[in-house]
Amino acid sequence: MIIQRVVLNSRPGKNGVPVAENFRLEQSTISDMIQVGQVRVRTMYLSVDPYMRCRMNEDTGSDYLLPWQLSEVADGGGIGVVEESKHDNLAKGDFVTSFNWPWQTVAILDGSLLQKLVPQLVNGRLSYFLGAAGITGLTALLGIKEKGHVTVGANQTMVVSGAAGACGSLAGQIGRLEGCSRVVGIAGTDEKCSILVQEMGFDAAINYKKGDVAEQLRELCPGGVDVYFDNVGGDISDTVISQMNQNSHIILCGQISQYNKDVPYPPPLPPDIEKIQKERNITRERFLVLNYMDKQEASVLQLCQWIQEGKLKVRETVVEGLANIGAAFQSMMNGGNIGKQIVSVSK
């Protein structure tokens, strides 16, 4: 069977900025026959995420992420429909997902590694299982629950950086649902800031490309910052940390401003900021959602309930066609999208 697939064409280098040309679309073939325990699936949606930047390097710098190999098919979160099955628990027509879905139009996969999806849980919006009801939503919810120490009635203020991104846009809303009394987002355009406030219920949003971020934070968070959901790292995070309260908490979700730099993860703080962190007893522990998979099922059901009730607003940037996945990746890394970046391969 002839298929299309996307392979890693070149590496941007440890300190390079990824471009669409780092990926290559090519034709390939797969067997017409499947073995016992396997399924043949047609790819519907693929997820494009910031962490994938690390996989473009020869060494990801992580013990849980494998690097993509040159001229080999890339992979990540994906959703598809079963076209043929020799697995006892999966049948033709079932919708399935995997965290290691190959970037190709049709694939033969081990059925035991796939998770069956129930479209009704997300009002039929299957792509939500890659975002708000998937690993992205789990990261936001479990990050806040496990590292945020949010307490209902404690009058806590949360700040979210990268707030218009896939995880940040959910984190701010979940922070409010979990009990924060004030939520402030930091994003890169006026449009994003407007969406955060008007659609997603943030109390305020700061365009970090305009004006003095530190001054705006002082104005919008007069009682200081109790919880910081950190997606970006770098100067913005240093500015937020300098205004955090005694015994406050940093949820270390991502450091996208540092992904094109050859630095350890999590990147060390500048000496003056590290001093503030220690003096104020601010927790800053690496958070990895994969360490909390025992809580996955209950957490996904909670996310789906919020979606169904309209309490969790979801934004997706959808790009059509497998051929455009490299451009989608480049756009995401440049901060060009709002919400989750999805590539629609087939309907």
**pLDDT of 82-108, one tens digit each?**
999 999 999 999 999 999 999 999 999
Q: Report CA Rg, the chain.
A: 20
Structural domains of the chain ordered from first start: 2-131+315-344 (3.90.180.10), 135-290 (3.40.50.720)
Considering the chain, what is the average pLDDT of its residues?
93
The three-point CA angle 19-9-26 to 5° equals: 110
Question: Could you give phi then psi for residue 241, rounded to 5 degrees?
Answer: -60, -35
Single out the residue of 227, 242, 126 nearest to residue 174, CA to CA: 227
The CA distance from 199 to 91, in Å, is 39
Tell me the residue ranges of DSSP E strands in 256-296: 283-286
Query: What are the tokens at 86?
Result: 């020799």
CA torsion 16→207→313→254, rounded to 10°? 40
**pLDDT of 143-201, one tens digit each?**
999 999 999 999 999 999 999 999 999 999 999 999 999 999 999 999 999 999 999 99
Tell me the residue ranges of DSSP E strands in 86-191: 95-102, 106-110, 115-116, 157-161, 182-187
- Does 233 have pLDDT greater than 50? yes
